[in-house]
């Protein structure tokens, strides 16, 4: 059986075996099988994690989860979550996880309460997947949308990260909800989500320019007559600016800024300077000397160890924010947001993570949630060999870095130079190339 | 100013009074195997102005120095600490007084800048006999202090014995300097290891009252289980020419458990080295009275090059897999991320309860302590060394009732861990017996290799700029193609 060709549609993944294709089709026909299996998938991971934690000195649970739950315990005792060292998040996270601090005396119930956060993160995964499907369904039928949402919903990496208790899943659902709200023209909701996400993890601020740029009159009020069509002359700059300032844009800016500042002022009033220090200022003062995927890492270790007096020499890392912010908040949104908002957001996130001064594997989740929205039109799926080559390159460069990192961290070999450094530069190169392809696909 | 010189032989060894020659200037006798302890006591007014001014401003100041060279101790002089320079300190009413400059001058320290920068705070809510601050740094020798003490105590015109006696401090295995406002006296106690030496003692200065004892432990039948007995000869120079025999007993806080241990890092150490303790026996000290409860503990002073993670040491399953029971004390507020070169406090103290296996056989067993290295400054070889002192290992036995150790002339307190236990605790020490005779382990720490670092800034910059340029070119491509498409659309419309 061959699929009808010439439709111009890229083939969805996971349909290579013709014998299984009918089964696959029934799987995606209705939502229940997919979401049920995604839920069971996570439940199995969760239960396995509980078993490993109870029986092995090597823990399944992420160290961050212990930080969150310790902070929640402090909150439950009427103290500040910042009593827990290395708690660098909004207090809202500790509040959300308050049930994890609940102790009943019954061992099984206590374990269940303690796992509340993981369940919450796993449910966030599912909701993010459901929103993904809804966004995808705007340009394709529901079964096909579900097929692409599977990349997120049945992704073992995603399921592992959230069931180990990492909060990135919450970010995934926030970003997807933000995108969905914007595409639905629900400006108030979008503003609330944008303000809250930036309060939660800062980086989603990069989406603000793309969303604002995308929200032009044509999209926000398509039935009204277009004022620019009255004259063929290019309008003056002042007129252009006036045209740019539309009610929906003002509404989004106002609501998101209000949400963001209200939350911050409230948190500051409750928890004082530690809130500002740990949640925001820490990112300004941190040294970022520990090895990670970022291309700047070796240079940062080097310069952090030099006395301040020798800072006369030029330091590249002080300008690191420039390429990162130019790409992710100016160039990419300006050029691509109006062509495809989801792909623009993916490219912005990819640029932000790639050019960041710190880069660890949990940051990859930030763009992974947006990936299924881009793949249907991507040259990686249209040309499978090309896609596979890109994936292999990405994995190999990361593997090379991990191998060098293992030698350093566990064998004690000084691989900072040149091994680890070259591997991080190579990984950076691969990421830039992939980013270039994503952008090129929007022509 | 008073001085007390004590030679302590092992139980059963003794010396005939007739073998000793005593006169107003000193004592001479045969060569014996013994430990020697010299204790000088100063009134505040007898001290030089600089030192007096400092001590008048502090509440408690206790220096405990221990040699990194393994040494044999003899009862009752058994108290042990990790090797290096320890300071236990309580400031007076004027908290701005800084003992660091004088201590740095006296001992040749290199990391003591001020209490607020370099010291850690100790819990004072547990037991009242604790000081409020702690400081530590590795210090392999007393060379600087011997020099400092000579310039202070041997003014021109002193007998040559003054200079030579203080010079011999470089061979000492322990040195204590103790001051508190209650006694208003400064005590300088130095201890030389158990070794063959001639029984000779000379005056530091003719004006000092000097008492000399030649003692050894004894076990008369009348002894209570928590007491130790001491017998031997005592004399005061200038008062008598024949030493008089003596016999007395007292409860002692520090005892010998007659077990031993070694500590070494498990290879490969990486950035998360594990310190393994090999302990000769899992059984509590046999001599300990039966009504006491005994728990094996390890007391660590870890320089800032590495640290224990108290969160990691919180999980019972993880701890028992390492033969540990629980963390009993850990310096609060240890930064778990900062590199060594921006950390100003000295490091961290850790009191761990160990979990010996339950077997009744006296087999050797091991316990592992997971530690984490900080990033150290880059070097020209790509490696740096981190020196980690041996811990003090002891069985802490607590009697339900009993004594608080009054009347022990050899009492040694303010040793760090004693402030973390109740006052009735007896410490039965395990003897550290390193294969190489050094009470310090060295970890090879991988760091950035400066020899290869010349091009890092330039190449990193070039790669980032190239990556940036590539993405910008692709964006320009989109803009240009978009313009063309727009043009085509317009043409179509026309």
Task: State the average pLDDT for chain B.
Answer: 89
> Could you give the count of Cα atoms lying within 13 Å of A128 in the half-sphere of its Cβ?
33
B260 Cα to chain A: minimum distance (Å):
28
Q: What confidence score (pLDDT) does residue B358 get?
A: 82
User: Band of the pLDDT at B299, cuts 50, 70, 90?
Assistant: very high
Higher pLDDT, B297 or B18: B297
Please state which of the ranges A219-223, B44-48, B215-219, B426-430 shows the lowest mean pLDDT. Answer: A219-223
* Subunit contact B336:A355, Cβ cutoff 8 A: no
* Subunit contact A289:B375, Cβ cutoff 8 A: yes
Q: What confidence score (pLDDT) does residue A10 get?
A: 44
Supply φ then ψ for residue B86, to 5 degrees.
-110, 145
For A56, the enclosing helix (H) or strand (E) is: none
What would the pLDDT profile of B79-89 be if each residue is shown by its tens digit?
Answer: 999 999 999 99
What would the pLDDT profile of B405-440 be if each residue is shown by its tens digit?
Answer: 667 888 888 898 988 888 888 999 999 999 999 999
Q: Are A410 and A387 in contact (CB under 8 A)?
A: no
Is B339 in the A-facing interface, judged by CB distances under 8 Å?
yes
Task: List, in sequence order, every beta strand (DSSP E) within B422-468.
Answer: 425-432, 440-446
What would the pLDDT profile of B208-250 be if each residue is shown by its tens digit?
Answer: 889 999 999 888 888 887 788 999 999 998 888 888 999 998 8
3-state secondary structure of B351: strand
Please state which of the ranges A84-98, A246-260, B391-405 shows the lowest mean pLDDT. Answer: B391-405
Q: How far apart are CA A406 and CA A400, in angstroms?
A: 10
B307 Cα to chain A: minimum distance (Å):
15
Q: What confidence score (pLDDT) does residue A12 get?
A: 46
User: Band of the pLDDT at A17, cuts 50, 70, 90?
Assistant: very low
What would the pLDDT profile of A402-436 be if each residue is shown by its tens digit?
Answer: 999 999 999 999 999 899 999 999 999 999 999 99
Q: How far apart are CA B252 and CA A3, in angstroms?
A: 91
Q: What confidence score (pLDDT) does residue B350 get?
A: 96
pTM of the model: 0.88
Please state which of the ranges A172-181, A330-339, B317-326, B474-483 shows the lowest mean pLDDT. Answer: B474-483
Q: Are B356 and B282 in contact (CB under 8 A)?
A: yes
pLDDT of A375 strictly over 90: yes
pLDDT of B56 strictly over 70: yes
Q: What confidence score (pLDDT) does residue B405 get?
A: 67
The minimal CB distance from B446 to the residues A86, A332, A412 is found for A412
DSSP 8-state assignment for residue A412: -
Please state which of the ranges A248-262, A323-337, A384-398, B148-162 shows the lowest mean pLDDT. Answer: B148-162
User: Band of the pLDDT at B133, cuts 50, 70, 90?
Assistant: very high
Is B95 in the A-facing interface, judged by CB distances under 8 Å?
no
- Closest CA relative to residue B89, chosen from B33, B50, B135, B148: B135
Q: How far apart are CA B387 and CA B273, in angstroms?
A: 12
Please report, in angstroms and rounded to a whole number, the separation of the first and last CA atoms in chain B.
113
- Read off the pLDDT of each residue in B23-50 and give the average, rounded to a whole number: 90
Distances (CA, A) of B53 to A113, A269, B94: 59, 46, 12
Higher pLDDT, A103 or A45: A45
Q: What confidence score (pLDDT) does residue A117 get?
A: 95
Q: How far apart are CA A157 and CA B302, in angstroms?
A: 38
* Subunit contact A316:B459, Cβ cutoff 8 A: no
What would the pLDDT profile of B464-487 be if each residue is shown by its tens digit?
Answer: 999 999 999 999 999 888 777 666
Q: What confidence score (pLDDT) does residue B202 get?
A: 82
B379 Cα to chain A: minimum distance (Å):
10
Reading the block at residue B44, the tokens are: 């505040």
* Subunit contact A305:B377, Cβ cutoff 8 A: yes
Q: What confidence score (pLDDT) does residue B263 get?
A: 96
pLDDT of A21 strictly over 70: no
3-state secondary structure of A356: coil
Reading the block at residue B485, the tokens are: 């498409």
Q: What confidence score (pLDDT) does residue A308 get?
A: 58
pLDDT of A226 strictly over 60: no
What would the pLDDT profile of B153-173 be if each residue is shown by its tens digit?
Answer: 888 877 788 888 889 999 999
Q: How far apart are CA B309 and CA A299, in angstroms?
A: 27
Reported ipTM: the value is 0.88
CB neighbour class for A386 (10 Å; exposed up to 12, middle 13-18, buried from 19) = middle
pLDDT of B15 strictly over 90: no
Count Cβ atoms below 10 Å from residue B293 Cβ, excluding itself. Answer: 11
Count Cβ atoms below 10 Å from residue A107 Cβ, excluding itself. Answer: 8
Chain B neighbors of A59, CB-CB under 8 A: 315, 318
Which of B343, B448, B494 to mutate to probe the A interface, most A CBs <10 Å? B448
User: Band of the pLDDT at A11, cuts 50, 70, 90?
Assistant: very low
Which of B335, B373, B460, B493 to mutate to probe the A interface, most A CBs <10 Å? B460
Question: Which strands make up the sheet holding B26-28, listed edge to edge?
Answer: B21-23, B26-28, B201-202
* Subunit contact A316:B464, Cβ cutoff 8 A: yes
């Amino acid at each position: 059986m061959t699929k009808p060709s010439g439709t111009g549609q890229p083939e969805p993944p996971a349909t290579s075996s013709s014998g299984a294709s009918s089964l696959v089709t029934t799987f995606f026909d209705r939502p229940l099988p997919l979401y049920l299996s995604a839920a069971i998938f996570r439940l199995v991971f969760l239960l396995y994690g509980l078993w490993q934690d109870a029986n092995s000195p090597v823990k399944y649970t992420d160290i961050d989860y212990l930080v969150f739950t310790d902070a929640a315990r402090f909150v439950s005792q009427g103290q500040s979550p910042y009593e827990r060292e290395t708690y660098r998040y909004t207090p809202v996270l500790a509040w959300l996880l308050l049930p994890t601090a609940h102790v009943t005396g019954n061992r099984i119930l206590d374990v269940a309460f303690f796992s509340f956060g993981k369940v919450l993160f796993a449910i966030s995964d599912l909701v993010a997947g459901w929103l993904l499907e809804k966004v995808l369904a705007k340009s394709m039928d529901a079964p096909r949308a579900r097929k692409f949402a599977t990349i997120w919903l049945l992704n073992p990496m995603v399921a592992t990260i959230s069931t180990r208790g990492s909060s990135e899943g919450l970010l995934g659902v926030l970003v997807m909800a933000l995108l969905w709200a914007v595409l639905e023209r629900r400006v108030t909701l979008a503003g609330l989500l944008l303000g809250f996400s930036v309060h939660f993890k800062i980086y989603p601020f990069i989406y603000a320019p793309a969303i604002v740029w995308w929200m032009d009159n044509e999209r926000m009020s398509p039935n009204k007559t277009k004022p620019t069509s009255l004259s063929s002359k290019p309008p003056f700059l002042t007129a252009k600016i006036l045209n740019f300032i539309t009610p929906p844009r003002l509404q989004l800016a106002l609501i998101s800024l209000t949400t963001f500042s209200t939350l911050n002022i409230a948190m500051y009033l409750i928890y004082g300077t530690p809130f500002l220090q740990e949640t925001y200022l820490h990112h300004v003062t941190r040294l970022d000397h520990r090895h990670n995927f970022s291309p700047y890492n070796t240079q940062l270790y080097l310069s952090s160890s030099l006395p301040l007096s020798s800072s006369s020499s030029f330091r590249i890392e002080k300008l690191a924010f420039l390429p990162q912010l130019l790409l992710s908040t100016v160039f990419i949104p300006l050029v691509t947001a109006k062509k495809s908002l989801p792909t623009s957001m993916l490219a912005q996130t990819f640029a932000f993570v790639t050019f960041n001064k710190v880069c660890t594997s949990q940051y990859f989740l930030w763009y992974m949630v947006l990936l299924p929205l881009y793949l249907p039109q991507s040259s990686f799926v249209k040309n499978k060999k090309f896609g596979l080559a890109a994936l292999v390159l990405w994995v190999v460069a990361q593997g090379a870095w991990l191998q060098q990192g293992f030698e350093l961290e566990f064998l004690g070999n000084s691989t900072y130079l040149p091994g680890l450094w070259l591997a991080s530069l190579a990984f950076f190169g691969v990421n830039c190339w992939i980013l270039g392809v994503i952008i090129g696909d929007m022509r | 100013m008073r001085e007390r010189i004590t030679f302590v032989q092992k139980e059963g060894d003794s010396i005939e009074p007739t073998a000793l020659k005593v006169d107003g200037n000193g004592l001479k006798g045969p060569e014996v195997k013994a430990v020697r302890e010299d204790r000088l006591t100063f009134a505040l007014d007898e001290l030089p102005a600089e030192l007096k001014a400092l001590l008048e401003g502090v509440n408690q100041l206790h220096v405990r120095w221990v040699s990194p060279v393994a040494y044999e101790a003899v009862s009752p002089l058994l108290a042990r600490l990790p090797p290096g320079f320890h300071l236990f300190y309580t400031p007076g009413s004027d908290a701005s007084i800084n003992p660091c400059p004088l201590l740095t001058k006296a001992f040749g320290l290199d990391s003591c800048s001020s209490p607020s920068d370099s010291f850690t705070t100790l819990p004072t809510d547990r037991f009242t006999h604790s000081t409020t601050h702690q400081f530590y740094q590795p210090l392999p020798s007393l060379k600087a202090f011997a020099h400092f003490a000579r310039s202070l105590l041997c003014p021109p015109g002193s007998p040559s014995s003054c200079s030579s006696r203080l010079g011999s401090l470089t061979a000492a295995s322990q040195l204590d300097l103790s001051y508190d406002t209650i006694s208003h006296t400064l005590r300088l106690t130095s201890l030389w290891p158990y070794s063959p030496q001639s029984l000779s003692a000379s005056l530091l200065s003719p004006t000092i009252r000097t008492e000399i004892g030649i003692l050894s432990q004894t076990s008369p039948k009348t002894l209570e289980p928590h007491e130790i007995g001491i017998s031997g000869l005592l004399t005061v120079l200038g008062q008598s020419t024949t030493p008089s025999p003596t016999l007395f007993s007292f409860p002692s806080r520090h005892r010998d458990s007659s077990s031993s241990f070694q500590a070494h890092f498990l290879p490969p150490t990486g950035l998360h080295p594990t310190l393994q303790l090999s302990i000769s026996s899992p059984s509590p000290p046999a001599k300990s009275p039966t009504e006491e409860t005994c728990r094996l503990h390890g007391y660590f002073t870890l320089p800032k090059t590495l640290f224990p993670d108290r969160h990691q040491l919180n999980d019972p399953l993880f701890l028992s897999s390492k033969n540990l029971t629980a963390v009993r004390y850990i310096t609060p507020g240890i930064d778990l991320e900062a590199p060594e070169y921006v950390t100003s406090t000295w490091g961290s103290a850790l009191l761990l309860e160990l979990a010996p296996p339950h077997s009744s056989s006296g087999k050797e067993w091991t316990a592992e302590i997971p530690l984490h290295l900080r990033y150290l400054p880059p070097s020209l070889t790509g490696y740096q060394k981190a020196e980690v002192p041996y811990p003090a290992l002891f069985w802490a036995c607590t009697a339900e009732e009993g004594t608080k150790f009054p009347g022990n002339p050899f009492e040694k307190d303010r040793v760090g861990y004693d402030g973390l236990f109740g006052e009735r605790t007896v410490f039965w020490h395990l003897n550290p017996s390193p294969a190489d005779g050094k009470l310090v382990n060295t970890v090879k720490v991988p760091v950035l290799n400066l020899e290869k670092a010349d091009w890092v800034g330039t190449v990193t910059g070039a790669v980032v700029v190239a990556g940036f340029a590539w993405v910008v070119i692709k964006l320009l491509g989109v803009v240009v193609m978009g313009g063309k498409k727009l043009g085509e659309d317009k043409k179509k419309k026309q």
